[in-house]
Amino acid sequence: GNDAGFETGTATKTRPKTKRPNLYRVLLLNDDYTPMEFVVLVLQDVFNKSREDAMRIMLHVHQKGVGECGVYPYEVAETKVTRVMDTARKNQHPLQCVMEKQ
């Protein structure tokens, strides 16, 4: 379509597509061995949470099994997951962090 009201060779969408970023939820998973303090420090360091928010999220994960650390564009989410997994492995904790499309 076009403004002049006749059709030319290129089809265009009637509904304008607005550009939303593809967002990903980063989740922390509970386990029986990772120290609570380690999880709190990870939430402060990697996800820039306050001590209070980090405590709240850690306890939520501890009690419910899984919890959200934040929502980010793909590359940011991926970098955060990698940072968590690298620091957990380095400290020999089984902490797991995953991302899922929102």
Q: Which residues bind ligand TYC (CB under 6 A)?
A: 28-32, 34-36, 39, 58, 61-62, 95
Structure tokens at 75: 């590359």
Question: CB-wise, 18 or 63, nearer to ligand TYC?
Answer: 63
Taking the C-alpha atoms of residue 36 and residue 93, their distance in angstroms, rounded to an integer, is 11
Taking the C-alpha atoms of residue 19 and residue 7, their distance in angstroms, rounded to an integer, is 25
Question: CB-wise, 39 or 81, nearer to ligand TYC?
Answer: 39
What is the closest distance, in whole angstroms, from the C-beta atom of residue 30 to ligand TYC in the complex? 5
What is the closest distance, in whole angstroms, from the C-beta atom of residue 79 to ligand TYC in the complex? 19
Structure tokens at 79: 């970098």
Question: CB-wise, 26 or 72, nearer to ligand TYC?
Answer: 26
Question: CB-wise, 1 or 94, nearer to ligand TYC?
Answer: 94
Helix (H, G, I), strand (E, B) or coil at 62: helix
What is the closest distance, in whole angstroms, from the C-beta atom of residue 101 to ligand TYC in the complex? 21
- CB within 8 A of 55, min separation 6: which ones? 40
DSSP summary character for residue 1: -
